[in-house]
Structure 1
């Protein structure tokens, strides 16, 4: 039990570093392609496309990963997700999460 007590602060520090690693400005640059469907400000103008602005970053990252790996199917998203790295997806998620 005592070993876990000592490990928890290290785990929290590692998680915090990972969460801060995303680059919002890089995400904003990548989002130019997304704007056609999801809007320049993350607010879609087309009714059946979701708003991304203000969404939780972890949720967005999970959804992008699902599109990329194919567990979530959407023919329009597949080509865009195929081009993204894990860092790109983290940056996009952070960017959209930062919007109001």
Structure 2
């Protein structure tokens, strides 16, 4: 194996560890309890219960945190999400992100 071939797998491992550590900031168990308020639209399983709400199961924690903070600050606007996100602390957001990002989704491709 050349140095170039060896460095690519190491890069993948490094990226995997970075994603895993970013995923571990919140408390998923606490996030599950907090997700009860999200369940009517996004489902406790992160699979949308309403046509206007996205599926969020398995989304990266960093993405979920960024979106919730954007709704909280009203940088991103949505009538429902702006109200729901407003009282969330950074800890609440990290916990919710840990819960929803920790869910796995199976995909079946159409034939």
- Fold shared by both chains (TM-score > 0.5): yes
Query: C-alpha distance in 1, partners of 2:68/2:52?
Result: 17
1:32 to 1:48, Cα distance in 2 relative to 1, 3 A:
same
Residue 84 of structure 1 aligns with which residue? 88
The yes-or-no answer on 1:33 pairing with 2:33 is: no
| Distance change in 2, residues 1:66/1:17 (3 Å) | same
Q: How many residue pairs get matched? A: 85
Shift of 1:25: 0.5
SS in 2 for 1:36: helix
Greater Rg by CA:
2
Distance 1:39 1:98 in 2: 14
Question: Structure 1 length normalisation: TM-score?
Answer: 0.78
Report the 3-state secondary structure (helix = DSSP H, G, I; strand = E; otherwise coil) of the residue aligned with 1:31.
Answer: helix
1:94 is the counterpart of 2:98: yes
Structure 1's unaligned 5+ residue stretches are 1-15
2:28 corresponds in structure 1 to 24
Structure 2 distance, partners of 1:99, 1:19, is 11
CA distance in 2, matches of 1:43, 1:33: 14
Q: 1:63 aligns with which of 64, 67, 70?
A: 67
TM norm structure 2: 0.71
- From the superposition, tell whether residues 65 and 34 of structure 1 become closer, same or farther in structure 2 (CA, over 3 Å): same
